[in-house]
Amino acid sequence: IILIIGASGQIGNELTQELRTIYGNSNVIASDIKEGSEEMMSSGPFEMMDATDKEGILGIVKKHNVTQVYLLAAMLSVTAEKHPKKAWDLNMNSLLGVLDLAKEKHIKQVFWPSSIAVFGSTTPKDNTPQKTIMEPSTVYGISKLSGEFWCNYYHEKYGVDVRSIRYPGIISWKTKPGGGTTDYAIDIYFKALKEGAYECFLSENTRLPMMYMNDAVAATIQLMQAKHIDVKLRTGYNLGAIDFTPNEMALEIKKHLPDFKISYHPDFRQEIAASWPSSIDDSAARTDWNWQHKFDLSAITTEMLKNIKTESIV
């Protein structure tokens, strides 16, 4: 039985749907502090839950005989800068609570998302290696770096089977993301269709590593299904897929919407984006558990514009 904590979020919503398709609706318990999409709420069991309430989580684990936990609840980079202490509390105490449940043998396996935000402005920017300088300058990045090494500690010291991925920016249309620096790459499609124009909060040449949600969900499940022996890293696996700038994205959108206009008004989020890598070396994931992305910028743009159009019409 699988428990998703943070199932109403951008990744949680789609991961819940995919896991239910694979394992059966009743075998995947969704939980969050607030209800999620109609599709997610109606397709299987849901429990209201505070991700920092370890006893509450244990109660749900026992009630449903949970064996695997995907802990996706977190405060992302932009929101975390506005509420540093709350972000640290949510991002860290939720992880330490779930790691303890695994150490106490209440659950068998844990997935915890890290991020390319663990890298900072002193990290080599291009094709950032799996092992390199990591001096994050955001609360979110600090919490993800610390969390990765807690995961590694619990694995080394207590044999906990916890697995983690350093996600790049993730692009999706089903659930609006909450407070990420890379959210421009989602907003741009909605605004292009609705208003024919987009005011970008990053500068036009800000190159960032990104991936499509379908690839992110597939990679997550692939890592969790990998043989123990193949999971050679118990910090977070670099995952890159593709990388692009807002300008390159606008050019791709113009192939579908020739009159689309973009303007650039960098704000405080530019500083966060500028501290992150431009592209990622994810060869460790490709070697250890056959990671392979499917969606490039052209495919993502076609998918996003098609789905947003039909969704908004419905």
Asked if 297 is part of the footprint of ligand VAH (rule: CB under 6 A), the reply reads no
Nearer to ligand VAH, 29 or 285 (CB): 285
Write down the least CB distance from residue 12 to ligand VAH, Å. 13
Please give the structure tokens belonging to residue 258.
């020739």
**Residue closest to ligand VAH when measured from CB atoms:** 180
Asked if 31 is part of the footprint of ligand VAH (rule: CB under 6 A), the reply reads no
Write down the least CB distance from residue 86 to ligand VAH, Å. 15
Write down the least CB distance from residue 254 to ligand VAH, Å. 25
Q: Give the residue, chosen from 147, 169, 236, 240, that forms a contact with ligand VAH under the rule CB under 6 A.
A: 169
**Contacts from 308-314 at CB under 8 Å and sequence distance 24+?**
308/173, 308/189, 308/190, 308/193, 309/193, 311/173, 312/193, 312/194
| Helix (H) or strand (E) segment spanning residue 132 | none
Residues in region 127-156 near ligand VAH by CB under 6 A: 140
Write down the least CB distance from residue 58 to ligand VAH, Å. 28
Please give the structure tokens belonging to residue 148.
């990765």
Measured between alpha carbons, how far is residue 22 from residues 9, 17, 37, 108, 191 in Å? Answer: 20, 9, 19, 19, 34
Nearer to ligand VAH, 31 or 128 (CB): 128
Nearer to ligand VAH, 102 or 241 (CB): 241
Assess contact for 12 and 72: CB atoms under 8 A.
yes
Q: Give the residue, chosen from 8, 16, 31, 77, that forms a contact with ligand VAH under the rule CB under 6 A.
A: 77
In this chain, which stretch among 45-53, 114-122, 150-158, 281-289 interacts with ligand VAH, using CB under 6 A?
114-122
Asked if 13 is part of the footprint of ligand VAH (rule: CB under 6 A), the reply reads no
d(CA 306, CA 192): 12
* Residues binding ligand VAH: number (CB under 6 A): 11
Q: Give the residue, chosen from 168, 236, 240, 246, that forms a contact with ligand VAH under the rule CB under 6 A.
A: 168
d(CA 166, CA 140): 13
Set 70, 140, 167, 189: catalytic member: 140
Write down the least CB distance from residue 269 to ligand VAH, Å. 9
Whether residue 140 lies in the annotated active site: yes
Amino acid at the residue 153: Y
d(CA 76, CA 49): 19
d(CA 277, CA 296): 18
Helix %, strand %, coil % of the chain (to 5): 50, 15, 35
Q: Give the residue, chosen from 29, 76, 87, 186, that forms a contact with ligand VAH under the rule CB under 6 A.
A: 76
Asked if 115 is part of the footprint of ligand VAH (rule: CB under 6 A), the reply reads yes
What is the crossing angle of helices 94-103 and 139-158, to 10°? 10
Asked if 116 is part of the footprint of ligand VAH (rule: CB under 6 A), the reply reads yes
Residues in region 176-205 near ligand VAH by CB under 6 A: 180-182
Nearer to ligand VAH, 116 or 217 (CB): 116
Of 52, 122, 128, 137, the C-alpha closest to 92 is 52
Write down the least CB distance from residue 193 to ligand VAH, Å. 21
Please give the structure tokens belonging to residue 287.
């070697």
Amino acid at the residue 252: E
* Residues of this chain that bind ligand VAH (CB under 6 A): 76-77, 115-117, 140, 168-169, 180-182
Catalytic residues, by residue number, are 140
